Amino acid sequence: MACMKLGSKSDVFYLDRQNWLCSTGLPSDVIVEIGETSFHLHKFPLISRSELLETIMKEDNEKSVIELHELPGGAKAFLLIAKFCYGVKMELTPSNVVSLRCAAEYLQMTEDYGEGNLIIQTENFLNHIFTYWTDTLRALRTCEEDVLPFAEELHITSRCIQSLVLKAADPSLVTSQSVVQSPENRIGGLVSKITCEDWWYEDVSSLSLPLYKRFMHGASGRHMKAEKISGSLVYYAKKSVPLLGSQFSGNNSNKSSSISCCTPSEADQRNMIEEIVEMLPNVKGITPTKFLLRVLRTAMALYASSSCCASLEKKIGAQLDEADLDDLLIPNIGYSMETLYDIDCVQRMLDHFMIVEHDAHPWLTDSEKEQMCKLMNCQKLSLEASTHAAQNERLPLRVVVQVLFFEQLKLRTSVAGWFFSSDNNNNSSLENSEKQQHNLALIGNDQTNPFMAFENVRERVSELEKEYLHMKKELEKMMVKSKISWNVILKKLGCRLIPKPPNNNKVTKSCRKTKITPTSTTITTTTTTMEDQKAMTEVN
Protein backbone atom coordinates (compact mmCIF):
# COMPACT_ATOMS: atom_id res chain seq x y z
CA MET A 1 0.00 0.00 0.00
CA ALA A 2 1.34 3.42 -0.91
CA CYS A 3 1.83 5.66 2.11
CA MET A 4 3.89 8.67 3.23
CA LYS A 5 4.87 9.70 6.75
CA LEU A 6 5.05 13.38 7.62
CA GLY A 7 6.54 15.01 10.74
CA SER A 8 9.16 13.80 13.20
CA LYS A 9 7.73 14.06 16.71
CA SER A 10 5.78 11.38 18.49
CA ASP A 11 2.07 11.84 18.99
CA VAL A 12 1.35 14.53 21.62
CA PHE A 13 -2.43 14.59 21.23
CA TYR A 14 -4.81 12.68 23.45
CA LEU A 15 -8.61 12.50 23.65
CA ASP A 16 -10.60 13.42 26.73
CA ARG A 17 -14.27 12.63 26.00
CA GLN A 18 -15.04 14.93 23.04
CA ASN A 19 -11.97 17.13 23.51
CA TRP A 20 -8.57 16.73 21.87
CA LEU A 21 -5.80 18.11 24.10
CA CYS A 22 -2.13 18.85 23.42
CA SER A 23 0.44 17.65 25.95
CA THR A 24 3.14 20.24 25.18
CA GLY A 25 2.89 21.71 28.67
CA LEU A 26 1.76 25.14 27.47
CA PRO A 27 -1.84 26.20 28.07
CA SER A 28 -3.95 26.36 24.91
CA ASP A 29 -4.98 29.78 23.62
CA VAL A 30 -7.46 28.76 20.92
CA ILE A 31 -10.26 26.23 20.63
CA VAL A 32 -11.30 24.89 17.23
CA GLU A 33 -14.79 23.40 17.17
CA ILE A 34 -15.83 20.98 14.43
CA GLY A 35 -19.21 19.40 15.00
CA GLU A 36 -19.31 18.01 18.52
CA THR A 37 -15.52 17.74 18.80
CA SER A 38 -13.27 20.46 20.25
CA PHE A 39 -9.52 20.89 19.74
CA HIS A 40 -7.58 22.80 22.44
CA LEU A 41 -4.57 24.12 20.54
CA HIS A 42 -2.15 27.02 20.18
CA LYS A 43 -2.40 29.85 17.68
CA PHE A 44 1.16 30.01 16.41
CA PRO A 45 1.47 26.48 14.89
CA LEU A 46 -1.86 26.98 13.13
CA ILE A 47 -1.32 30.45 11.63
CA SER A 48 2.15 29.45 10.44
CA ARG A 49 0.57 26.92 8.05
CA SER A 50 -2.95 28.19 7.25
CA GLU A 51 -3.83 31.47 5.58
CA LEU A 52 -7.50 31.09 6.53
CA LEU A 53 -6.80 30.59 10.23
CA GLU A 54 -4.37 33.52 10.21
CA THR A 55 -7.00 35.77 8.63
CA ILE A 56 -9.64 34.75 11.17
CA MET A 57 -7.33 35.35 14.13
CA LYS A 58 -6.08 38.70 12.82
CA GLU A 59 -9.62 39.97 12.49
CA ASP A 60 -10.23 39.25 16.15
CA ASN A 61 -7.16 38.85 18.32
CA GLU A 62 -9.28 38.21 21.37
CA LYS A 63 -11.22 35.43 19.69
CA SER A 64 -10.36 32.14 21.34
CA VAL A 65 -13.00 29.90 19.71
CA ILE A 66 -13.01 29.18 15.95
CA GLU A 67 -15.81 27.21 14.34
CA LEU A 68 -14.93 25.11 11.28
CA HIS A 69 -18.06 23.01 10.92
CA GLU A 70 -17.85 23.03 7.11
CA LEU A 71 -14.30 21.72 6.95
CA PRO A 72 -14.04 18.84 4.39
CA GLY A 73 -13.35 15.58 6.17
CA GLY A 74 -14.62 16.90 9.50
CA ALA A 75 -12.89 16.33 12.82
CA LYS A 76 -11.03 13.26 11.56
CA ALA A 77 -9.27 15.25 8.86
CA PHE A 78 -8.54 18.22 11.14
CA LEU A 79 -6.81 15.97 13.69
CA LEU A 80 -4.30 14.97 11.00
CA ILE A 81 -3.91 18.61 9.96
CA ALA A 82 -3.24 19.62 13.57
CA LYS A 83 -0.56 16.95 13.81
CA PHE A 84 0.99 18.24 10.58
CA CYS A 85 1.04 21.81 11.91
CA TYR A 86 2.71 20.67 15.15
CA GLY A 87 5.26 18.56 13.28
CA VAL A 88 3.86 15.32 14.71
CA LYS A 89 4.18 12.14 12.64
CA MET A 90 1.22 11.50 10.37
CA GLU A 91 0.71 9.09 7.53
CA LEU A 92 -0.75 9.85 4.13
CA THR A 93 -2.72 6.91 2.71
CA PRO A 94 -5.13 6.39 -0.22
CA SER A 95 -7.93 6.44 2.34
CA ASN A 96 -7.18 9.90 3.80
CA VAL A 97 -5.36 11.78 1.06
CA VAL A 98 -8.52 13.04 -0.67
CA SER A 99 -10.05 14.49 2.50
CA LEU A 100 -6.69 16.02 3.50
CA ARG A 101 -6.23 17.52 0.03
CA CYS A 102 -9.68 19.12 0.19
CA ALA A 103 -9.21 20.32 3.80
CA ALA A 104 -5.80 21.81 2.96
CA GLU A 105 -7.39 23.71 0.08
CA TYR A 106 -10.17 24.91 2.38
CA LEU A 107 -7.63 26.15 4.97
CA GLN A 108 -5.40 27.65 2.22
CA MET A 109 -2.26 25.76 3.27
CA THR A 110 -0.11 26.98 0.36
CA GLU A 111 3.65 27.24 -0.07
CA ASP A 112 3.45 30.87 1.07
CA TYR A 113 2.96 29.46 4.57
CA GLY A 114 5.90 27.15 4.77
CA GLU A 115 7.83 25.09 2.27
CA GLY A 116 6.38 21.62 1.70
CA ASN A 117 2.99 22.65 3.00
CA LEU A 118 0.06 20.25 3.03
CA ILE A 119 -1.39 21.18 -0.38
CA ILE A 120 1.78 20.28 -2.25
CA GLN A 121 2.35 17.20 -0.09
CA THR A 122 -1.11 15.75 -0.74
CA GLU A 123 -1.03 16.69 -4.44
CA ASN A 124 2.26 14.87 -4.94
CA PHE A 125 0.93 11.84 -3.13
CA LEU A 126 -2.19 11.77 -5.32
CA ASN A 127 -0.07 11.81 -8.47
CA HIS A 128 1.92 8.96 -7.00
CA ILE A 129 -1.02 6.69 -6.24
CA PHE A 130 -2.54 7.26 -9.69
CA THR A 131 0.02 4.76 -10.96
CA TYR A 132 -1.52 2.08 -8.75
CA TRP A 133 -4.86 0.52 -9.67
CA THR A 134 -6.03 -0.48 -6.20
CA ASP A 135 -4.85 2.69 -4.44
CA THR A 136 -6.60 4.83 -7.04
CA LEU A 137 -9.77 2.83 -6.52
CA ARG A 138 -9.59 3.38 -2.76
CA ALA A 139 -9.05 7.10 -3.21
CA LEU A 140 -12.01 7.30 -5.60
CA ARG A 141 -14.28 5.61 -3.11
CA THR A 142 -13.47 8.26 -0.48
CA CYS A 143 -14.71 10.91 -2.91
CA GLU A 144 -18.25 9.68 -2.21
CA GLU A 145 -18.17 11.05 1.31
CA ASP A 146 -18.77 14.64 2.48
CA VAL A 147 -15.78 15.85 0.44
CA LEU A 148 -17.47 15.27 -2.95
CA PRO A 149 -18.12 18.95 -3.85
CA PHE A 150 -14.52 19.89 -3.03
CA ALA A 151 -13.14 16.79 -4.79
CA GLU A 152 -15.09 17.72 -7.89
CA GLU A 153 -13.82 21.29 -7.79
CA LEU A 154 -10.22 20.08 -7.52
CA HIS A 155 -10.83 17.47 -10.28
CA ILE A 156 -9.74 14.68 -7.98
CA THR A 157 -12.73 12.50 -8.89
CA SER A 158 -12.25 12.91 -12.63
CA ARG A 159 -8.51 12.22 -12.37
CA CYS A 160 -9.13 9.02 -10.41
CA ILE A 161 -11.69 7.83 -12.95
CA GLN A 162 -9.45 8.68 -15.88
CA SER A 163 -6.59 6.72 -14.30
CA LEU A 164 -8.81 3.66 -13.80
CA VAL A 165 -10.26 3.84 -17.31
CA LEU A 166 -6.82 3.96 -18.89
CA LYS A 167 -5.72 0.86 -16.99
CA ALA A 168 -8.92 -1.05 -17.69
CA ALA A 169 -8.67 -0.28 -21.41
CA ASP A 170 -4.96 -1.12 -21.55
CA PRO A 171 -3.89 -3.69 -18.91
CA SER A 172 -0.24 -3.20 -19.92
CA LEU A 173 -0.33 0.07 -17.98
CA VAL A 174 -0.98 -1.86 -14.79
CA THR A 175 2.36 -2.83 -13.28
CA SER A 176 2.88 -5.82 -11.03
CA GLN A 177 3.08 -3.46 -8.06
CA SER A 178 -0.43 -2.22 -8.78
CA VAL A 179 -2.00 -5.41 -7.52
CA VAL A 180 0.27 -6.05 -4.53
CA GLN A 181 -2.13 -5.57 -1.68
CA SER A 182 -1.62 -5.55 2.03
CA PRO A 183 -4.45 -6.68 4.35
CA GLU A 184 -5.35 -3.00 4.94
CA ASN A 185 -5.44 -2.27 1.20
CA ARG A 186 -7.94 -4.90 0.16
CA ILE A 187 -11.32 -3.61 -0.97
CA GLY A 188 -13.91 -5.98 0.37
CA GLY A 189 -11.51 -8.92 -0.07
CA LEU A 190 -11.32 -8.34 -3.82
CA VAL A 191 -8.09 -9.24 -5.60
CA SER A 192 -7.49 -8.10 -9.18
CA LYS A 193 -6.59 -10.69 -11.82
CA ILE A 194 -5.05 -9.07 -14.84
CA THR A 195 -4.57 -12.33 -16.70
CA CYS A 196 -8.13 -12.27 -18.10
CA GLU A 197 -10.06 -9.51 -19.83
CA ASP A 198 -12.66 -9.21 -17.08
CA TRP A 199 -10.11 -8.74 -14.29
CA TRP A 200 -11.48 -5.29 -13.41
CA TYR A 201 -15.21 -6.17 -13.30
CA GLU A 202 -15.26 -7.06 -9.64
CA ASP A 203 -13.20 -4.07 -8.48
CA VAL A 204 -15.32 -1.39 -10.17
CA SER A 205 -18.51 -3.09 -8.99
CA SER A 206 -17.64 -1.78 -5.49
CA LEU A 207 -18.29 1.78 -6.66
CA SER A 208 -21.56 3.56 -6.08
CA LEU A 209 -23.88 3.95 -9.04
CA PRO A 210 -22.98 7.63 -9.79
CA LEU A 211 -19.23 6.91 -9.82
CA TYR A 212 -19.72 3.65 -11.72
CA LYS A 213 -21.73 5.50 -14.38
CA ARG A 214 -18.92 8.01 -14.81
CA PHE A 215 -16.41 5.19 -15.10
CA MET A 216 -18.47 3.44 -17.79
CA HIS A 217 -18.99 6.68 -19.73
CA GLY A 218 -15.23 7.22 -19.60
CA ALA A 219 -14.68 3.67 -20.84
CA SER A 220 -17.05 4.30 -23.75
CA GLY A 221 -15.23 7.52 -24.53
CA ARG A 222 -11.97 5.56 -24.73
CA HIS A 223 -13.64 3.29 -27.32
CA MET A 224 -13.46 0.23 -25.11
CA LYS A 225 -14.84 -2.92 -26.72
CA ALA A 226 -18.60 -3.24 -26.41
CA GLU A 227 -18.16 -6.80 -25.12
CA LYS A 228 -16.20 -5.53 -22.10
CA ILE A 229 -18.67 -2.75 -21.35
CA SER A 230 -21.60 -5.15 -21.52
CA GLY A 231 -19.79 -7.73 -19.39
CA SER A 232 -19.08 -5.18 -16.67
CA LEU A 233 -22.70 -3.98 -16.68
CA VAL A 234 -23.97 -7.55 -16.35
CA TYR A 235 -21.61 -8.18 -13.42
CA TYR A 236 -22.59 -4.91 -11.73
CA ALA A 237 -26.30 -5.59 -12.17
CA LYS A 238 -26.10 -9.08 -10.67
CA LYS A 239 -24.17 -7.76 -7.68
CA SER A 240 -26.10 -4.54 -7.05
CA VAL A 241 -29.69 -5.66 -7.66
CA PRO A 242 -30.50 -8.52 -5.24
CA LEU A 243 -33.86 -9.21 -6.86
CA LEU A 244 -32.07 -9.78 -10.16
CA GLY A 245 -29.14 -11.71 -8.71
CA SER A 246 -31.42 -14.15 -6.91
CA GLN A 247 -32.79 -15.26 -10.28
CA PHE A 248 -29.31 -16.35 -11.34
CA SER A 249 -27.93 -17.90 -8.16
CA GLY A 250 -31.16 -19.25 -6.74
CA ASN A 251 -32.53 -18.69 -3.25
CA ASN A 252 -29.85 -19.17 -0.64
CA SER A 253 -31.15 -18.83 2.88
CA ASN A 254 -27.71 -18.35 4.39
CA LYS A 255 -26.78 -15.55 2.00
CA SER A 256 -30.15 -13.84 2.22
CA SER A 257 -30.01 -13.72 6.01
CA SER A 258 -26.51 -12.21 5.98
CA ILE A 259 -27.22 -9.43 3.47
CA SER A 260 -30.80 -8.63 4.42
CA CYS A 261 -29.63 -5.74 6.60
CA CYS A 262 -27.90 -3.98 3.68
CA THR A 263 -30.31 -4.86 0.87
CA PRO A 264 -31.21 -1.72 -1.12
CA SER A 265 -34.83 -0.67 -1.27
CA GLU A 266 -37.04 -1.45 -4.24
CA ALA A 267 -36.81 2.18 -5.30
CA ASP A 268 -33.01 2.00 -5.35
CA GLN A 269 -33.06 -1.29 -7.24
CA ARG A 270 -35.52 0.16 -9.76
CA ASN A 271 -33.23 3.15 -10.28
CA MET A 272 -30.24 0.85 -10.78
CA ILE A 273 -32.11 -1.24 -13.35
CA GLU A 274 -33.12 1.85 -15.32
CA GLU A 275 -29.59 3.29 -15.27
CA ILE A 276 -27.96 -0.01 -16.27
CA VAL A 277 -30.37 -0.56 -19.16
CA GLU A 278 -29.62 2.94 -20.42
CA MET A 279 -25.88 2.17 -20.45
CA LEU A 280 -26.15 -1.16 -22.29
CA PRO A 281 -24.50 -1.05 -25.74
CA ASN A 282 -26.88 -1.02 -28.71
CA VAL A 283 -25.05 -3.86 -30.41
CA LYS A 284 -26.82 -7.09 -31.30
CA GLY A 285 -25.57 -10.23 -29.59
CA ILE A 286 -23.27 -8.44 -27.13
CA THR A 287 -25.48 -8.88 -24.06
CA PRO A 288 -26.82 -12.41 -23.38
CA THR A 289 -30.49 -12.78 -24.22
CA LYS A 290 -31.15 -14.77 -21.06
CA PHE A 291 -29.81 -11.90 -18.96
CA LEU A 292 -31.90 -9.31 -20.83
CA LEU A 293 -35.07 -11.35 -20.33
CA ARG A 294 -34.45 -11.64 -16.61
CA VAL A 295 -33.71 -7.95 -16.36
CA LEU A 296 -37.04 -7.31 -18.12
CA ARG A 297 -38.85 -9.58 -15.70
CA THR A 298 -37.22 -7.79 -12.75
CA ALA A 299 -37.98 -4.37 -14.23
CA MET A 300 -41.65 -5.29 -14.53
CA ALA A 301 -41.72 -6.59 -10.97
CA LEU A 302 -40.18 -3.33 -9.74
CA TYR A 303 -42.55 -1.23 -11.92
CA ALA A 304 -39.70 0.39 -13.84
CA SER A 305 -40.41 3.14 -16.35
CA SER A 306 -42.11 2.29 -19.62
CA SER A 307 -39.10 3.57 -21.57
CA CYS A 308 -36.84 1.14 -19.70
CA CYS A 309 -39.10 -1.83 -20.46
CA ALA A 310 -39.53 -0.75 -24.09
CA SER A 311 -35.76 -0.51 -24.52
CA LEU A 312 -35.33 -4.02 -23.11
CA GLU A 313 -38.05 -5.41 -25.37
CA LYS A 314 -36.34 -3.88 -28.39
CA LYS A 315 -32.93 -5.30 -27.43
CA ILE A 316 -34.41 -8.74 -26.81
CA GLY A 317 -36.41 -8.62 -30.04
CA ALA A 318 -33.25 -8.02 -32.04
CA GLN A 319 -31.87 -11.38 -30.84
CA LEU A 320 -35.03 -13.28 -30.00
CA ASP A 321 -33.77 -16.35 -31.84
CA GLU A 322 -31.35 -16.94 -28.95
CA ALA A 323 -34.10 -17.06 -26.31
CA ASP A 324 -35.34 -20.19 -24.55
CA LEU A 325 -39.03 -20.90 -24.10
CA ASP A 326 -38.77 -20.91 -20.29
CA ASP A 327 -37.28 -17.41 -20.32
CA LEU A 328 -40.19 -16.10 -22.40
CA LEU A 329 -42.70 -17.11 -19.74
CA ILE A 330 -42.92 -13.67 -18.15
CA PRO A 331 -45.57 -13.48 -15.39
CA ASN A 332 -48.38 -11.06 -16.06
CA ILE A 333 -48.26 -8.45 -13.30
CA GLY A 334 -50.31 -5.78 -15.03
CA TYR A 335 -53.74 -4.53 -14.11
CA SER A 336 -55.46 -6.95 -16.48
CA MET A 337 -54.85 -10.51 -15.30
CA GLU A 338 -56.61 -12.22 -18.19
CA THR A 339 -53.62 -14.48 -18.85
CA LEU A 340 -51.06 -16.07 -16.55
CA TYR A 341 -48.16 -14.85 -18.69
CA ASP A 342 -47.61 -11.53 -20.42
CA ILE A 343 -48.49 -12.43 -24.01
CA ASP A 344 -48.51 -8.82 -25.21
CA CYS A 345 -44.90 -8.38 -24.15
CA VAL A 346 -43.81 -11.45 -26.13
CA GLN A 347 -45.82 -10.20 -29.11
CA ARG A 348 -44.01 -6.84 -29.04
CA MET A 349 -40.62 -8.57 -28.89
CA LEU A 350 -41.63 -10.77 -31.81
CA ASP A 351 -42.64 -7.69 -33.79
CA HIS A 352 -39.19 -6.19 -33.18
CA PHE A 353 -37.61 -9.44 -34.31
CA MET A 354 -39.65 -9.47 -37.52
CA ILE A 355 -38.61 -5.88 -38.27
CA VAL A 356 -34.93 -6.73 -37.86
CA GLU A 357 -35.15 -10.08 -39.65
CA HIS A 358 -37.64 -9.01 -42.33
CA ASP A 359 -36.27 -11.49 -44.90
CA ALA A 360 -39.12 -14.99 -43.29
CA HIS A 361 -34.54 -16.30 -42.32
CA PRO A 362 -32.83 -15.90 -45.79
CA TRP A 363 -29.92 -18.13 -44.83
CA LEU A 364 -32.14 -21.21 -44.41
CA THR A 365 -32.03 -23.90 -47.08
CA ASP A 366 -35.18 -25.40 -48.59
CA SER A 367 -34.79 -28.57 -46.56
CA GLU A 368 -34.42 -26.54 -43.34
CA LYS A 369 -37.54 -24.55 -44.20
CA GLU A 370 -39.47 -27.79 -44.66
CA GLN A 371 -38.24 -29.05 -41.31
CA MET A 372 -39.42 -25.87 -39.60
CA CYS A 373 -42.79 -25.93 -41.33
CA LYS A 374 -43.39 -29.48 -40.12
CA LEU A 375 -43.74 -28.02 -36.64
CA MET A 376 -46.77 -26.03 -37.81
CA ASN A 377 -50.21 -27.62 -37.48
CA CYS A 378 -52.06 -26.52 -40.60
CA GLN A 379 -55.39 -27.66 -39.15
CA LYS A 380 -55.26 -25.05 -36.38
CA LEU A 381 -54.49 -21.98 -38.46
CA SER A 382 -56.91 -19.11 -38.41
CA LEU A 383 -58.51 -17.85 -41.62
CA GLU A 384 -56.13 -14.89 -41.67
CA ALA A 385 -53.09 -17.10 -41.16
CA SER A 386 -54.26 -19.54 -43.82
CA THR A 387 -54.78 -16.72 -46.31
CA HIS A 388 -51.31 -15.39 -45.61
CA ALA A 389 -49.77 -18.86 -45.99
CA ALA A 390 -51.54 -19.44 -49.28
CA GLN A 391 -50.11 -16.21 -50.69
CA ASN A 392 -46.59 -16.59 -49.24
CA GLU A 393 -44.29 -17.51 -52.11
CA ARG A 394 -41.42 -18.36 -49.77
CA LEU A 395 -43.24 -21.22 -48.05
CA PRO A 396 -42.59 -24.74 -49.32
CA LEU A 397 -45.18 -25.84 -51.88
CA ARG A 398 -46.19 -28.87 -49.84
CA VAL A 399 -47.14 -26.63 -46.91
CA VAL A 400 -49.25 -24.34 -49.10
CA VAL A 401 -51.13 -27.33 -50.54
CA GLN A 402 -51.82 -28.64 -47.03
CA VAL A 403 -53.15 -25.27 -45.93
CA LEU A 404 -55.53 -25.06 -48.87
CA PHE A 405 -56.65 -28.66 -48.37
CA PHE A 406 -57.56 -28.15 -44.73
CA GLU A 407 -59.28 -24.86 -45.50
CA GLN A 408 -61.39 -26.63 -48.11
CA LEU A 409 -62.12 -29.37 -45.61
CA LYS A 410 -63.23 -26.79 -43.04
CA LEU A 411 -65.46 -25.19 -45.63
CA ARG A 412 -67.16 -28.46 -46.51
CA THR A 413 -67.68 -29.21 -42.84
CA SER A 414 -69.12 -25.77 -42.24
CA VAL A 415 -71.53 -25.96 -45.20
CA ALA A 416 -72.68 -29.43 -44.22
CA GLY A 417 -73.21 -28.32 -40.63
CA TRP A 418 -75.18 -25.29 -41.79
CA PHE A 419 -77.58 -27.35 -43.90
CA PHE A 420 -77.87 -29.94 -41.15
CA SER A 421 -78.74 -27.29 -38.57
CA SER A 422 -81.37 -25.80 -40.91
CA ASP A 423 -83.16 -29.18 -41.37
CA ASN A 424 -83.07 -30.24 -37.75
CA ASN A 425 -83.42 -26.94 -35.95
CA ASN A 426 -86.55 -27.96 -34.04
CA ASN A 427 -85.62 -31.57 -33.23
CA SER A 428 -81.91 -31.33 -32.34
CA SER A 429 -80.72 -31.99 -28.81
CA LEU A 430 -78.62 -29.61 -26.72
CA GLU A 431 -75.45 -31.44 -27.64
CA ASN A 432 -76.20 -31.21 -31.36
CA SER A 433 -77.04 -27.54 -30.92
CA GLU A 434 -73.62 -26.86 -29.46
CA LYS A 435 -71.96 -28.63 -32.40
CA GLN A 436 -74.05 -26.61 -34.82
CA GLN A 437 -73.03 -23.38 -33.12
CA HIS A 438 -69.41 -24.44 -33.44
CA ASN A 439 -69.85 -25.08 -37.17
CA LEU A 440 -71.66 -21.79 -37.61
CA ALA A 441 -68.85 -19.95 -35.81
CA LEU A 442 -66.32 -21.32 -38.30
CA ILE A 443 -68.00 -19.52 -41.16
CA GLY A 444 -69.10 -16.42 -39.24
CA ASN A 445 -72.75 -17.52 -39.27
CA ASP A 446 -75.45 -15.22 -38.00
CA GLN A 447 -78.22 -17.48 -36.60
CA THR A 448 -80.77 -14.74 -36.86
CA ASN A 449 -80.15 -14.26 -40.60
CA PRO A 450 -79.49 -17.53 -42.55
CA PHE A 451 -79.33 -15.65 -45.86
CA MET A 452 -76.39 -13.57 -44.65
CA ALA A 453 -74.62 -16.75 -43.52
CA PHE A 454 -75.18 -18.37 -46.91
CA GLU A 455 -73.72 -15.29 -48.62
CA ASN A 456 -70.64 -15.56 -46.39
CA VAL A 457 -70.23 -19.19 -47.40
CA ARG A 458 -70.53 -18.31 -51.08
CA GLU A 459 -67.88 -15.59 -50.76
CA ARG A 460 -65.51 -17.95 -48.99
CA VAL A 461 -66.03 -20.65 -51.62
CA SER A 462 -65.29 -18.09 -54.31
CA GLU A 463 -62.05 -17.04 -52.59
CA LEU A 464 -60.90 -20.64 -52.24
CA GLU A 465 -61.66 -21.32 -55.90
CA LYS A 466 -59.49 -18.37 -56.89
CA GLU A 467 -56.68 -19.58 -54.66
CA TYR A 468 -57.03 -23.08 -56.10
CA LEU A 469 -56.77 -21.79 -59.69
CA HIS A 470 -53.75 -19.72 -58.73
CA MET A 471 -52.08 -22.75 -57.18
CA LYS A 472 -52.88 -24.82 -60.23
CA LYS A 473 -51.17 -22.30 -62.48
CA GLU A 474 -48.14 -22.23 -60.21
CA LEU A 475 -47.91 -26.02 -60.31
CA GLU A 476 -48.11 -26.00 -64.07
CA LYS A 477 -45.30 -23.46 -64.22
CA MET A 478 -43.21 -25.62 -61.93
CA MET A 479 -43.77 -28.69 -64.09
CA VAL A 480 -42.75 -26.74 -67.20
CA LYS A 481 -39.59 -25.65 -65.41
CA SER A 482 -39.01 -29.25 -64.39
CA LYS A 483 -39.36 -30.40 -68.02
CA ILE A 484 -36.93 -27.72 -69.16
CA SER A 485 -34.45 -28.84 -66.53
CA TRP A 486 -34.69 -32.41 -67.90
CA ASN A 487 -33.81 -31.08 -71.36
CA VAL A 488 -30.78 -29.33 -69.90
CA ILE A 489 -29.65 -32.51 -68.15
CA LEU A 490 -30.03 -34.60 -71.29
CA LYS A 491 -28.15 -32.00 -73.33
CA LYS A 492 -25.29 -32.23 -70.86
CA LEU A 493 -25.33 -35.99 -71.39
CA GLY A 494 -25.15 -35.46 -75.15
CA CYS A 495 -28.83 -36.03 -75.96
CA ARG A 496 -31.86 -33.85 -76.39
CA LEU A 497 -35.56 -34.43 -76.31
CA ILE A 498 -37.07 -34.88 -79.76
CA PRO A 499 -40.77 -34.24 -80.11
CA LYS A 500 -42.78 -37.25 -81.20
CA PRO A 501 -43.76 -37.14 -84.93
CA PRO A 502 -47.49 -36.94 -85.54
CA ASN A 503 -47.81 -40.18 -87.57
CA ASN A 504 -44.54 -41.99 -86.90
CA ASN A 505 -43.14 -43.40 -83.64
CA LYS A 506 -39.56 -43.53 -84.92
CA VAL A 507 -36.96 -40.89 -84.32
CA THR A 508 -35.70 -39.11 -87.44
CA LYS A 509 -32.38 -37.95 -85.97
CA SER A 510 -29.85 -39.77 -83.89
CA CYS A 511 -28.30 -38.39 -80.75
CA ARG A 512 -25.30 -36.18 -81.17
CA LYS A 513 -21.87 -36.69 -79.62
CA THR A 514 -22.72 -40.18 -78.36
CA LYS A 515 -22.35 -43.77 -79.40
CA ILE A 516 -25.91 -44.68 -78.41
CA THR A 517 -27.92 -46.08 -81.30
CA PRO A 518 -31.03 -44.29 -82.56
CA THR A 519 -33.23 -47.07 -81.25
CA SER A 520 -31.98 -46.73 -77.69
CA THR A 521 -32.31 -42.96 -77.91
CA THR A 522 -35.92 -43.26 -78.95
CA ILE A 523 -36.70 -45.47 -75.99
CA THR A 524 -35.08 -43.11 -73.51
CA THR A 525 -36.76 -40.05 -74.93
CA THR A 526 -40.17 -41.67 -75.10
CA THR A 527 -39.91 -42.94 -71.55
CA THR A 528 -38.97 -39.51 -70.25
CA THR A 529 -41.85 -37.91 -72.11
CA MET A 530 -44.31 -40.41 -70.68
CA GLU A 531 -43.05 -39.76 -67.19
CA ASP A 532 -43.53 -36.00 -67.67
CA GLN A 533 -47.05 -36.52 -68.93
CA LYS A 534 -47.83 -38.79 -66.01
CA ALA A 535 -46.53 -36.20 -63.56
CA MET A 536 -48.61 -33.49 -65.20
CA THR A 537 -51.69 -35.65 -65.00
CA GLU A 538 -51.18 -36.32 -61.30
CA VAL A 539 -50.76 -32.66 -60.52
CA ASN A 540 -53.82 -31.64 -62.52
User: pTM (2 decimals)?
Assistant: 0.65
- Inter-residue contact 165 to 133 (CB < 8 Å): no
Q: What angle do CA 259, 265, 267 make, to 5 degrees?
A: 155
Distance, first Cα to last Cα, the chain: 88
| Domain extent listing, the chain | 1-157, 375-415
SS3 361: coil
- 367-375 average pLDDT score: 80
On the CB side of 166, how many CA atoms lie within 13 Å of its CA?
14
- pLDDT value for 191: 44
- Span 98-155, pLDDT tens digits: 999 999 999 999 999 999 999 999 999 999 999 999 999 999 999 987 898 999 999 9
> Which helix (H) or strand (E) covers residue 433, if one does?
helix 430-442
The DSSP 8-state label assigned to residue 28 in this structure reads: P
Q: Is residue 7 left, alpha or beta, with left meaning phi > 0 and alpha meaning psi from -120 to 50?
A: left
Higher pLDDT, residue 123 or 455: 123
- Span 21-33, pLDDT tens digits: 888 778 888 999 9
Strand partners of residue 4: 92
> Where does the pLDDT of residue 422 fall: very low under 50, low under 70, confident under 90, or very high at 90 and above?
low
- pLDDT value for 372: 79
SS3 13: strand
In residues, how long is the chain? 540
Burial state string for 417-443 with b = 16 or more CB within 10 A and e = fewer than 16: bbeebeeeeeeeeeeeeeebeebbeeb
Asked whether the predicted pLDDT for residue 190 surpasses 70, the reply is: no
CA dihedral sign, ordered 393, 396, 399, 404: positive
Percent of the chain clearing pLDDT 70 (strictly above): 70
C-alpha distances (whole Å) from 381 to each of 308, 403, 444 are 35, 8, 16
- Span 457-506, pLDDT tens digits: 667 777 777 777 777 777 777 667 666 655 655 565 554 444 445 554 44
On the CB side of 514, how many CA atoms lie within 13 Å of its CA?
17
SS3 352: helix
The top-level CATH class assigned to 1-157 is: alpha beta
